[in-house]
Each structure stands twice: as C-alpha cells, then as structure tokens.
Amino acid sequence: MDSLKGKLPPISQLGPFIALFIACVFFALTTDRFFSAENLSLILQQVMVVGVIAIGQTLIILTGGIDLSCGMVMALGSIVMTKFAADFGLPTVIAVLCGLGVTVLFGLINGLLVTTIKLPPFIVTLGTFNVAFAITQLYSQAQTVTDIPDAMTWLGNTFQLGGGAVSYGAVFMIILYVLVWLWLRETGAGRHVYAVGNNPEATRLVGIPTERVLLGVYVLAGLFYGIASLLAVARTGVGDPNAGQTENLDAITAVVLGGTSLFGGRGVILGSLAGAVVVGVLRNGLTLMGVSSVYQVLVTGILVILAVSVDQLSRKSTR
C-alpha cells in the first residue's frame, strides 16, 4: 500500500480530476442531456477562453507570483485585434499579431516591474489591471467592434466528432496545455520555473538566472492572454470592451482548483485545465437541472476552500 501511495500523484494533484469525475457522474445521473457528445463539447468551448488564460496564470503562480491583470489584458488584446482589422483594414494575421504584441508588451511590463523594480506581483498587476482597463475603454470608446473578417473567427468554427461539434479553438486549447505540460516536465527551463517558485534564493545560489526566468514567465503569460483574446473574438464574433472583467478571478479559481499552490513551486498544469472544466461543468449541469446560479457560486467557493485545504494538509503531512 505504501509503494502504491508513492507511485500515485499526491491528492492535491489528483483532486481536481476526481472532482471533475464526480461532477460529471452526478450530472449524468440527474439530468438526461448532460452526458451527450454535443453538450460535453459545448462545455469545452465555453471554458476555452478562461482555460487558455489559466495557462499563463498557472506559470506565474508557479513562480510564487500572481497576475490580477490577465482578464483586462485579454480584453485589450481583443479590442486591438478587432479594431485594427475593422478600422485600418489590416489583414487578419497582421491584426492578430498586433493584438498579441500588445498583450506580450503588458506581460513584459509586468515582468520588468517585478524583476527590476522588485515590486510584489500583486501590486504590479493590480496597477496594470487598471491601466489595461482604461486603455481598453478609451480606445474602444466603450463600443463593441463588429465587422470583423471571417478569418478572425475561424477558431470558433467547429468540426463534427462523434455526434458533437468541437471547435478548433477548444482543440487548440488542449494542444497548448499538452505542450506547456511537456515543457514544464521535460526541459531544464521548465524545472527552473518550479525551482524559482519553490526557493528563489536557492536558484540564485546555484546559478540559475532567476530574474530571466521570472521575466520569461510573465512575457509568456502575456502571449497566452493574447491567444485567449483571439479565442474570445472567435467565440463571440465581436471585440467586446466589457469582456474580461470576471476572467481575472475565474482564471485564478481554475488554477487553485487545479491543485497549484498559491505559494509557488508546486502544481501540475493539466490540473488548471481540469479546474476550468469543473467550473464549466457546474454551470452547465446546474442550468440543466434548473438550479439557481447562486448554488453554482456556492459550490465553486466550497471547492476552492477544499482545494486550498487539501494542498496545505498534504504539505504538512510530509514533514
């Protein structure tokens, strides 16, 4: 039994998948439409924006930081992309690259403030959150951007898979998760991300360029927020200046539910995917059951507390 325990991942990592499994079983039993290919693929599409934001957020939280600006940066990215295409007539690819450029720039700013001025990430990203929001509102003049080229919403298109329509964007999200998972597990740079979060002093002493690792993580996160902007545009078909307001907390919720420790250095990125999907499953399942959305919020809150407690308790038991 002892050796089996040693081989299984710790409960804080398995937890989100167990919770997801239980939730799916529960809704499959209590409603007749939950467990259909169509419904399940729908949920994936609904969580793809938060899911991709959560990739960037996970990386940052793994280094012991946090990013409160993620949703706003995403919104800014989608406004820049859509307005550049609609107002300046730029070809889709260029407009998208411009949007990505803006979100990466914000990532760079966050990273520089954290590494060179050494401000706490919480404070820095609180500031950039406000700046991104203001720029988004001012640039868009609070107007939704319509007339965007079809090519930009391509990721929202679907293909048939076993009775359900799966969007290219959802597939893309899964591919991104797998790539980042492999990178974190199989490369030295990935290990350094964990090391910086687990013991930044140690990484400095063994010669790892800690500042560069941190900066890289923030810039990379900015890239993922940009990809999420594109997915948001693909999903809704417009550039929405009011998007992203709850995505900040939704992304952090997904990461925490996914078993990544807020103290840094611990966590598996696939857990964040499970965390994001669990929230989508709850929302979908409770709607199908006709239960008020207040209960969704309640259950999510309970799960978050459980996730953090499990993480804390499992760490204490190893001492």
Partner 1 sequence: MATENLVMKATGLVKRFGKVTALDGADFELRPGEILAVIGDNGAGKSSLIKCLSGASIPDEGHVWLDGKEIHFKTPMDARRAGIETVYQDLAVAPAMTIAENLFLGRETRRQGFLGKYLGALDKKKMLEESVARMQELKVGIRSMTQAVETLSGGQRQCVAVGRAAAFAQHVVIMDEPTAALGVKEGNMVLELIRRVRDRGLPVVLISHNMPHVFEVADRIHVARLGRRAAVLNPKKISMSDTVAVMTGAMPPESIPAECLAH
Partner 2 sequence: MLRNSATLTAAVALTIGAAATAFAAGEPVVGLITKTETNPFFVKMKEGAAAAAKAKGAKLLSGAGKADGDNAGQVTAMENMIAAGAKTILITPSDSKAIIPAIKKAQEKGVMVIALDSPTDPAEATDALFATNNYTAGVLIGEYAKAALAGKPAKIVTLDLFPGHPVGAQRHNGFLKGFGLPSNEAKNNELAKPAEVVCMADSFGDRAKGQTAMENCLQKAPDVNLVYTINEPAAAGAYNALKKAGKEKGVIIVSVDGGCEGVENVGKGIIAATSQQYPLKMASMGVEAGVEYAKTGKKASGYTDTGVTLIAAKPVAGVESKDVKTGMDLCWGKK
Helical segments of 31-91, H only: 37-62, 70-88
As a dihedral over the C-alpha atoms of residue 247, residue 250, residue 252, residue 258, rounded to 10 degrees, the angle is -140
**Under the criterion CB under 8 A, does residue 235 sit at the interface with partner 2?**
yes
**Under the criterion CB under 8 A, does residue 142 sit at the interface with partner 2?**
yes
d(CA 74, CA 223): 10
**Under the criterion CB under 8 A, does residue 186 sit at the interface with partner 1?**
yes
Distance of CA 65 to the CA centre of its chain: 15
Q: Which residues, 6 or more positions from 78, have their beta carbon under 8 angstroms from its beta carbon?
A: 99, 229, 230, 232, 233, 239, 240, 243
User: What is the smallest separation between the CB atom of 187 and partner 1, expressed in angstroms?
Assistant: 4
Binding partner at 206 among partner 1, partner 2, none, C-beta below 5 to 8 Å by kind:
partner 1
**Under the criterion CB under 8 A, does residue 318 sit at the interface with partner 2?**
no
The structure tokens listed for 300 are 């999510």
Nearer to partner 1, 110 or 261 (CB): 261
**Under the criterion CB under 8 A, does residue 38 sit at the interface with partner 2?**
yes
Binder of partner 1 out of 117, 118, 290, 318 (CB under 8 A): 318
Cβ pair 221, 111 in contact under 8 A: no
Binding partner at 224 among partner 1, partner 2, none, C-beta below 5 to 8 Å by kind:
none
**Under the criterion CB under 8 A, does residue 250 sit at the interface with partner 2?**
no
**Binding-residue total with partner 1 (CB under 8 A):** 22
User: What is the smallest separation between the CB atom of 315 and partner 1, expressed in angstroms?
Assistant: 8
**Under the criterion CB under 8 A, does residue 207 sit at the interface with partner 1?**
yes
Binding partner at 236 among partner 2, partner 1, none, C-beta below 5 to 8 Å by kind:
partner 2
**Under the criterion CB under 8 A, does residue 314 sit at the interface with partner 1?**
no
Positions 53 through 112 that interact with partner 1 (CB under 8 A): none
Cβ pair 213, 199 in contact under 8 A: no
User: What is the smallest separation between the CB atom of 289 and partner 2, expressed in angstroms?
Assistant: 9
Kindly write down the DSSP assignment for every residue of 108-120, as one continuous string.
HHHHHHHHTS---
Q: Which residues, 6 or more positions from 164, have their beta carbon under 8 angstroms from its beta carbon?
A: 36, 37, 38, 39, 40, 41, 42
Distance of CA 95 to the CA centre of its chain: 23
Residue ranges in contact with partner 2 by CB under 8 A: 31, 33, 36, 38-39, 42, 45-46, 49, 130, 133, 137-138, 141-144, 158, 232, 235-238, 240, 242-243, 245-246, 283-284, 287-288, 290, 292-294
